[in-house]
Amino acid sequence: MMQLTINTTQNVKIYFNQAPLSSRIVASLIDLCCLIIYCIGVFIFWNSLDLSSYFSDDLTIYSIILILLLPAVFYSLLTENLFNGSSLGKKIMKLRVIKLDGYHATFADYLTRWIFRSIDVMIGSGVIGLLSVIFSDKGQRLGDLVAGTAVISTKSNVNLESTIYQELDDNYSVTYHQVLKLSDNDIRLIKEVMNDFKKSRNHKLLSTLVTKIEKTLGVKSKNSSHLQFVDIVIKDYNYLSQQKA
């Protein structure tokens, strides 16, 4: 699985697994099945109630059918905005749309991707989008290139170094209970940045990470060492999340 490196506006490098092409194709097929099922459901609903008998005007009938089918038209836009960058197919395949600057994609980004979907997917039966993903360094279709987004895999690596797990004593004392505001993925990213620091000894990188954690948790470091602070945050999260489980 190829790795996608994102350099944030704070000059912090974050690493993600680029979504495999096969997973994206399967996700698209799942989404297509969802759309087909919905459309079939609309027509079954229409016929079962015999709604056409209530309207003599063909234009009115077609207008109502079009309104009922609008969720299918805006499917990718609605689901990606609702599920934080994942359509139903992407959620099943554990894929997500993110911004290349490290921030969450916005509604405007999802809208841009949806607009260009007609070129990427509809025209040429998806050939244009497929070629764009294959030849793009970051696996982006045209909509991603314009929106500044990419599709990543949210499946975690299985090697111990990439996990958030740490062995802690039962009598471990928690310093920052606010760490539960973070997610497993947040801790995984923090560990990635720490691994980068250990290789580069870039203290500006570490300082930026500490500032970001303090702002997110609403706390101030109680340690003179930034390394100690980050280490305690990771341990606190591990301990509290294990207790919660």
Q: Give the tens place of pLDDT for each residue, 100-127.
A: 876 678 899 999 999 998 888 877 777 8
For residues 226 and 210, the answer to whether their CB atoms sit within 8 Å is yes
Q: What's CA 127's distance to the chain center, in Å? A: 24
What local confidence, expressed as pLDDT, does residue 79 receive?
95
pLDDT at 161 over 50: no
- Strand segments (E) across 71-227: 95-99, 149-153
Query: Which class for 71: exposed (0-12), middle (13-18), buried (19 or more C-beta within 10 A)?
Result: middle
**Taking Cα atoms as reference points, which of 134, 141, 15, 30 lies closest to residue 86?**
30
User: What does the alpha-carbon distance between residue 143 and residue 97 come to, in Å, rounded to a whole number?
Assistant: 11
pLDDT number for residue 207? 86
- Please tell me the pTM assigned to this model: 0.61
Helix (H) or strand (E) holding 70: helix 58-73
The residue length of the chain stands at 245
